[in-house]
Structure formats: structure tokens, C-alpha cells
Structure 1
Amino acid sequence: MRISVEGLEVRLSGRTVVSGVDLLADEGEIAGLVGPNGSGKSTVLRTVYRHLRPHAGRVLVGDADIRELSAVESARRVAALPQERGTDFELSVREVVAMGRTPYKRAFAGEDAADRDVVSEALAHVGMAHAARRRFSALSGGERQRVLLARALAQSPEVLVLDEPTNHLDVRHQVELLTLLRAQRRTTLLALHDLNAAASVCDRLHVLHDGAVVASGPPRDVLTAELLAEVFGVRAAVVEHPLTGDPLIAFDHRAPAGADLTTAV
């Protein structure tokens, strides 16, 4: 299902932090939000999964305004992995993942066979089936991250919204998670700090700067040396990845912040 954001404006404590944002993730597409810290990525995502109410604009899931859906219907359509993640669950891993089935259950209804199958499949997808009986609170940060992603998958959503999903993951599990997202072919909107990961996994990028979208399009078109200098303040060359053919950003770590970047390759 397609998800689109139209004319989004968000104010926090009387200050406009996002203004005039339009972005899109088409059906089955992975759309990435990239930009410096404070550019508005998380604010946009919080609005998409209804944690924040916009001052203006709307979020459409298919043809439906997400604010006009019931909480249950919204949860069936959109599942989120936010940055603010509970880490004190005194539940087993399986019980945490099973929380993703809540939108499909009547009050006090127990888990049925279909729920158990969905939970088991979600755990297997993130490589945590072996830890189903472990306490969530005893897991490492990376393991918790994968379990919370499994909870989102167990929600069986049409759209995934992920805010920095590779945080706390080592290189191997970062690659595995991004490979999983590609294989899912589920409409996905995600924020990433790692521009090379974004170039590899995303079909479309939206670059945010000072609360506005300054560029949108395929990674190869968006991630230019000029944009990296202007938006991120870094000198870099954009080349072809020798293994995948994706854009690969090589940063000049010798150029100090604030240096003249007009000679960026």
C-alpha cells in the first residue's frame, strides 16, 4: 500500500520544526529519510505513526487519512519501530513479539494457532527464534532491536515505519536486517544516518534539512557531492560500489567541518 505525506507542518513548544513536507513511499517501495541531526526526520515519522498530531497537512495510507482511522485500523495498516524503545519489559521474547497481534484480538482474547504461527515466523525472520523463551530485559541492545522489529512484523502491517532500525546492530546484523527489508517488499518508510546503507536499501530518498525536503528521488540522482557538501557539510566522492553497483560515498575525513567544500568531487 502506498503512503504519502502532504504539506506536513509540525510545531513543538510553539516552534515550527517541520514545514511543507511532501514525501512518498509507493506500494512495495522502501523510501528513506536522510538528513543531519535535527533536520526533522524523526518528527515526520512520529506524525506518520500518530505519535504527533500535525499543525497542518496530512498522512495518507492508500486513500485514507491516517487521522480518520480508528486506532485499531491504523495499527493494522502501519507498524512502527521508533527510536524511543521500551527496554524494561519483564516478559519473554515471545511475549513481546506477541504484543504485535493486539490489533487483531478482542479484549482478553488469548493467543490462537494463527497468532503463534505469525509470531514464530517473525522471530525466525529476525534470527531470534532461538531466544523465544529468554527474558527481553536480559538481551543486548542489538538483540532487543531485532525483537522489536519482529513485534512490528507480527503486526502484519501494510506499511512499516522504522526510525534508525540499524542502531545497536553490528555489521553482520545490519546487513541481515537491510536484506530482510528488501526481501519483504513491504511499503517501508525509514530514517537512516548511514548514507551508504540508505543508498543500498532504498528505492527512493527524501533529504531533509532544517525541517524541509530539499531533494527527492532515486539514491543515484539524490546523493551527489554537491548535495553532501551543502546539506551535510562534508567533502565526498560518490562512486560505484564494486560489489553491488550502488552509489558508494567516500568521505574525506581529513577535511575539517567548516572547510571550503566547493572543490568536492
Structure 2
Amino acid sequence: MRIDVHDLRVAYDGRTVVSGLHLIASSGEITGLVGPNGSGKSTVLRTVYRHLRPAAGRVLLDGTDIGALPPAETARHVAALPQERGGDFDLTVHEIVVMGRTPHKRAFAGEDRTDRAVVTRALGRVGLAGYGNRRFSALSGGERQRALLARAFAQAPDVLVLDEPTNHLDVRHQVELLSLLREQGRTTLISLHDLNAAASVCDRLHVLHQGALVASGTPLEVLTPALLAEVFGVRAAVVEHPLTGDPLIAFDHRSVV
């Protein structure tokens, strides 16, 4: 499924946060949102998964205005991993992950064999096989992150919307997560602070700055020294990654622009 955002404007308390935004996430591709803190990335994602209602503009899911769909239907198509993850849920990991099956169930229906199989498979894919009976509140930050990602996978969506999913993950689990997203083949809209991670995993990047879209294209087209200086205020060289051939950003950590 394809996501199209048309002329989006979002406001908080009368203050415009995002304005005039147009972007796409093509079917089956990983599309990244990058930009400095406060640039509007999370706001855009919250609008896509309907946590926020836009002041103007539309979010289209395969051409249908997502705001016109019943919430349950939206949830069958779009799964989100927000940046605000919640806290110490007094639930087991299994109980957290099986929540992802809710959009596919009748009201008050209990879990069945299919649900349990889906949960087991989702936990295995995020490296948490055997964690089902553990308390969610007892997990580390990285384990919680992976459990919530398993919940999104259990939802069996067409579209994944992920807000900084590599937060709290060590390097190994970051690499595993990004590789897993690649293997999914699902339309994925993701925000990332790590520009090198974005360059390696994303098919397309949209760069946001002060609530506006300033660049779109492949990582190689977008991540230029000039843009990095203008938008992020850093000096950097962009070279070819010696292992993958992806753009690799070498930052000058001794000075800023």
C-alpha cells in the first residue's frame, strides 16, 4: 500500500508545527523522515497513524483519505510504533504482543490458536522467543522496544509507521532490526536520527526542517555536504561505504557550521 501526504498542516494550541507538506511512501519501500529535533517528524507520523488530526491537507492510503476510514479498518492496514512507548505495563510480553491481533477480532473475542501462533512467530522475529511469560515491566529498554515491534508485526499491517525504532537498542540489535525491516517488504515510514542508518536502510528520504519539507530523493541525492550544513549545522563529508556502497557520512566532531 502507498501513503500520500498532501498539503499537510498540523497545529498545536494555535501554533503551526507542520505546513504545506507533501510526501509519499511508495508501496513496499522504506521511506525515511530525517531532520533536526523539532523539525516535525513525529508530528507527521502521528498524523499518518491518526493520533493527530490535521488542520488542513490529507493523508491517503492507496488513494483513500485515511480520516474517512473506520478506526478498526485503519488499524488492519497501519501499525505504529510511537516514540512515546508507555511505561511499566503490568502485563506479560505475550499479553502486550497479542494486543496487535485486536483489529482482526470480533468484539470481546478471546485469543485463539492462530493468534498464539502469530504472537510466537512475531516474538521470534524480534529475538524474544521464549519471553512470552515475562513481565513487560521487567524488560530492559531495548527488550521493551523489540516487544512493541513484535506487537506491530502481530498486527499484520500493510504499512508500518515507526518513530525512532532504534532508540534504546545496542548496535547489534539496531542492525538486526533494520535488516528485518528490509526483509519485510512492507511499506514502511520511519523516522531516524542516525543519518547513516537512514542512508543504509531507506529507499527514499524526506528531509524536514522547521516544519517544512526541504529535500526528497534517494539517500545519495539528499545527503549532501551542503544539505547537512544547511539543515543540521554540521560539517561532513559523504563517501562510499567500504562494505555496502551506501552513502557514508563522516562528521567533523570538532566544529559546527
Q: TM-score, normalised by structure 2?
A: 0.99
One-letter amino acid of the structure 1 residue matched with residue 64 of structure 2: A
User: Larger deviation: 81-90 or 218-227?
Assistant: 81-90
Matched position secondary structure for 2:197: helix
Q: How does 1:140-179 map to 2 (within 5 A)?
A: 140-179=140-179
Post-superposition Cα deviations, 1:84-124, rounded to whole Å, max 9, x if no partner, equal 11122111111100000001111221111111111111111
TM-score where L is the length of structure 1: 0.96
Residue in 1 that maps onto 2:52? 52
What is the 5 A alignment of 1:197-236? 197-236=197-236
Shift of 1:170: 0.3
Secondary structure of 1:253's match? strand
Equivalent residue number for residue 93 of structure 2: 93
Q: How much is the aligned-residue C-alpha RMSD, in angstroms?
A: 0.7
Three-state SS of the structure 2 residue aligned to 1:75 is helix
Report runs of 4+ in structure 1 exceeding 2 Å deviation: none
Give the aligned residue type for 1:48: V
Residues 154-195 of structure 1 deviation map (CA, whole Å, 9 limit, x = unaligned): 111100000000000000000000000000010000000000
Task: After TM superposition, give the deviation of residue 131 of structure 1 in Å.
Answer: 1.1
CA distance in 2, matches of 1:72, 1:211: 30
Q: Deviations over 1:23-50 (max 9, x none)?
A: 1111100000000000000000000000
The residue identity in structure 2 corresponding to 1:167 is N
Q: Percent identity?
A: 75
- Structure 2 gap segments, 5+ residues each: none
Letter in 2 for 1:172: R
* Equivalent position of 1:74 in the other structure: 74
The range that moved more, 200-209 or 113-122, is 113-122
Shift of 1:138: 0.2
* Distance in 1 separating the partners of 2:229 and 2:163: 24
**SS of structure 1 residue aligned to 2:254:** coil
Matching residue of 1:116: 116
Deviation digits for residues 200-234 of structure 1, max 9, x if unmatched?
A: 00000000001010000000100000000000000
For structure 1, list consecutive stretches of 5 or more residues without a partner in the other structure: 260-265
* Residue in 2 that maps onto 1:41: 41
SS of the counterpart of 1:147? Answer: helix
- Which residue number in structure 1 is paired with residue 183 of structure 2? 183
Q: Secondary structure at the match of 2:237?
A: strand
The aligned residue for residue 21 of structure 2 is 21
